[in-house]
Amino acid sequence: MADNVFDAIVVGSGISGGWAAKELCEKGLKVIMLERGPNVEHIKDYHSATKHPWEFPHRGSRTQQMIKDYPVLKRDYPLNEMNLEWWASDKDCPYTEIKRFDWFRGYQVGGRSLMWGRQSYRLSDLDFEANAREGIAIDWPVRYKDIEPWYDYVEKFAGVSGNRDGIPHLPDGQFLPPMELNCVEKDVAARIRSSFGGKRHMIIGRSANVTGPLEGRQQCQFRDKCWLGCPFGGYFSTQSSTLPAAMKTGNLTLRPWSIVTKVLYDKDKKRATGVEVLDAQTNQTYEYKSKIVFLNASTLNTTWILMNSATDVWPDGLGSSSGELGHNLMDHHLGVGAGGWVEGYEDKYYYGRRPNGFYIPRFRNLNGEKRNYLRGFGYQGAASRENWERSIAEYSIGAEFKEALTEPGRWTIGMGGFGEILPYHENKVTLDKTRTDKWGLNVLAIDCELKENELNMRKDMLNDAMEMLEAAGVKDVSGADGDGTPGRGIHEMGTARMGRDPKTSVLNKWNQVWDAPNVFVTDGSFMTSAACQNPSLTYMAFTARAADYAVQELKRMNL
Amino acid sequence: MNRREALSRVALIFGGTIVGAEAFLTGCRNSSAPAETLTFSPDVISLLDEVGETILPTTASSPGAKAAAIGEFMKVIVTDCYEEKDQQIFMEGIGKLNEAADKKYGKDFMALSAEEKHNLLVEIDAEAKAYNESKSSEDPNHYFTLMKQLTLWGYFTSEVGATKALRYVPVPGRYEGCIEYKKGEKAWAL
pLDDT digits (tens, 9 = 90+) for B112-122: 999 999 999 99
Chain A residue numbers with beta carbons less than 8 Å from the beta carbon of B157 are 53-54, 59
CA torsion sign, A11 to A12 to A13 to A15?
Answer: negative
A443 DSSP β-pair partners: A432
CA dihedral B122, B128, B133, B135 (to 10 degrees): 180
Please give the residue that has the higher pLDDT: either A47 or B9.
A47
- Res B27: pLDDT: 43
Asked if A339's CB is within 8 angstroms of B12's CB, the reply is yes
The continuous run of DSSP H or E covering A183 comes out as helix A183-195
Whole-angstrom Cα distance, residue B107 to residue A258?
66
CA distance A188 to chain B (A): 14
User: Which residues 52-71 of chain B have a CB within 8 Å of chain A?
Assistant: 54-57, 59, 61-62, 64
Q: List the single residue in A63, A338, A406 with the smallest CB-CB distance to B187.
A: A406
Residue A392 pLDDT level (bands cut at 50, 70, 90): confident
Over its C-alpha atoms, chain A yields an Rg (Å, rounded) of: 23
Name the pTM for this structure. 0.95
Pick from A57, A337, A406: CB nearest B10: A337
Residues of A in contact with B142 (CB under 8 A): none
Helix (H) or strand (E) holding A127: helix A125-128
Query: What's chain B's Rg over C-alpha atoms?
Result: 18
pLDDT of A522: 98
Of all residues in chain A, what percent carry a pLDDT higher than 90? Answer: 98
DSSP A248-263: HTT-EEEE-SEEEEEE
- Strand, coil or helix: what is A429? strand
> CA A147 to CA A127: how far, in whole Å?
13
Residues 79-108 on B with a CB inside 8 Å of A are 80-83
Distance CA A96, CA A101 (A): 9
CB of A449 closer than 8 Å to CB of B49: no
Are the C-beta atoms of A414 and B7 separated by less than 8 Å? yes
Handedness of CA A288, A294, A295, A297 (dihedral sign): negative
pLDDT tens readout for residues A511-548: 999 999 999 999 999 999 999 999 999 999 999 999 99
d(CA A361, CA A61): 33
- The beta-carbon neighbor of A413 closest among B11, B16, B17 is B11
What rounded mean pLDDT belongs to chain A? 97
Asked whether the beta carbons of residue A349 and residue B179 sit closer than 8 angstroms, the reply is: yes
Min mean pLDDT across A69-83, A207-221, A385-399, B150-164 is at: A385-399
In DSSP terms, A6 is beta-bridged to: A290
In chain A, what residues touch B32 (CB-CB under 8 Å)? 64
Between CA A540 and CA A526 the distance in angstroms is: 12
CA B133 – CA B136 distance, rounded (Å): 9
Sign of the dihedral defined by the CA atoms of residues B52, B58, B63, B66, in that order: positive
Mean pLDDT of A277-291: 98
Report how far Cα B86 is from the mean position of its chain's Cα atoms: 14
DSSP H or E segment with residue A415:
strand A411-420
Q: What is the pLDDT of residue B28?
A: 43
d(CA A458, CA A102): 19
Question: Taken in order A533, A539, A540, A542, is the CA torsion positive or negative?
Answer: positive
Q: How far is CA A285 from CA A275, A430, A439, in A?
A: 11, 24, 11
Q: Which residues in chain B come in under a pLDDT of 70?
A: 1-37
Q: What is the DSSP letter of A336?
A: E
Give kind and range of the element (H or E) at residue B116: helix B114-134
For B130, residues 6+ apart whose C-beta sits below 8 A from its C-beta are: none
C-alpha of A79 from chain center: 18
Question: Chain A to chain B, count of Cβ pairs less than 8 Å apart?
Answer: 258
Q: Which helix (H) or strand (E) holds B127?
A: helix B114-134
Strand pairing report for A271-279 and A285-295: antiparallel
Residues facing A373 on adjacent strands: none
Q: A266 to chain B nearest CA, in Å?
A: 44
Please compute, for residue A234, the number of CA atoms within 13 A of its CA located in the half-sphere on the CB side. Answer: 22
Q: A338 near A469, Cβ under 8 Å?
A: yes
User: Could you tell me which of A165, A412, A207, A349 has the C-alpha nearest to residue B177?
Assistant: A349
Which residues, other chains included, contact B143 with Cβ-Cβ below 8 Å and sequence gap of 6+? Answer: B89, B90, B92, B93, B94, B96, B97, B128
pLDDT band at A406 (very low <50, low <70, confident <90, very high): very high
Cα gap A155→A264, rounded to integer Å: 34
Dist. CA B26–CA B8, nearest whole Å: 15
Length of chain B: 190
Q: Which of A51, A54, A394, A418 to mutate to test the interface with B (most CBs of B within 10 A)?
A: A54
Q: Give CA–CA dist A514/A505, Å, rounded.
A: 8
Return the number of other C-beta atoms located less than 10 Å from residue B99's C-beta.
12
Residue A463 neighbours by CB distance under 10 Å? 13
- Rounded Cα gap, residues A448 and A442, in angstroms: 19
Q: What is the pLDDT of residues A98-118, one digit of tens each?
A: 999 999 999 999 999 999 999
Provide, as residue numbers in chain B, all residues whose Cβ is less than 8 Å from the Cβ of A391. 17-19
The string of pLDDT tens digits covering residues A323-382 is 999 999 999 999 999 999 999 999 999 999 999 999 999 999 999 999 999 999 999 999
| Beta carbons of B6 and A77 less than 8 Å apart | yes
Residue A378 and residue A334 in contact, taking contact as beta carbons nearer than 8 Å: no
Between chains, do B159 and A416 touch, taking CB under 8 Å as contact?
Answer: no
Number of other residues whose CB lies within 10 A of the CB of residue A325? 27
Contact B31 A67 (CB under 8 A): yes
Share of chain A above pLDDT 70, in %: 100
Q: Is A117 near chain B, with CB under 8 Å?
A: yes
DSSP letter at A109? T
Length of chain A: 559
Q: Are A22 and A246 in contact (CB under 8 A)?
A: yes
Q: Coil, helix or strand for A420? A: strand
- Residue A254 pairs in a beta bridge with A33
**Using the beta-carbon criterion (under 8 Å), do A61 and B28 form an inter-chain contact?**
yes
Global ipTM: 0.94
CA dihedral over A177, A183, A186, A189, signed as positive or negative: negative
* Other Cβ atoms closer than 10 A to B140: 11
Contact A381 B172 (CB under 8 A): no
B117 touches A at CB < 8 Å:
no
- Angstrom CA distances, A521 to A273, A303, A440, A554, stand at 16, 9, 25, 16
Please report, as a single letter, which amino acid is at residue A282.
T
Categorise residue A151: left if φ over 0, alpha if ψ from -120 to 50, beta otherwise: alpha
Phi, psi for B59 (deg, rounded to 5):
-125, 180
Taking the alpha carbons at both ends of chain A, their separation in whole angstroms is 19
d(CA A389, CA A371): 40
CA B163, distance to chain mean position in Å, is: 18
Residues A450/A494, Cβ–Cβ less than 8 Å: no
Check: CB of residue A79 under 8 Å from CB of residue A64: no
C-alpha distances in Å from residue B139, one per residue of A328, A448, A490, B13, B88? 43, 35, 34, 19, 14
Determine the Cα angle at A116 with ends B163 and A507, to 5°: 175
Helix (H, G, I), strand (E, B), or coil: what is residue A360? Answer: strand
Strand partners, A445: A96, A430
CA B120, CA A224: separation in Å to the nearest integer?
41
A90 CA to chain B: closest CA distance, Å?
A: 15
Between CA B10 and CA A122 the distance in angstroms is 27
pLDDT in tens, B123-144: 999 999 999 999 998 999 999 9
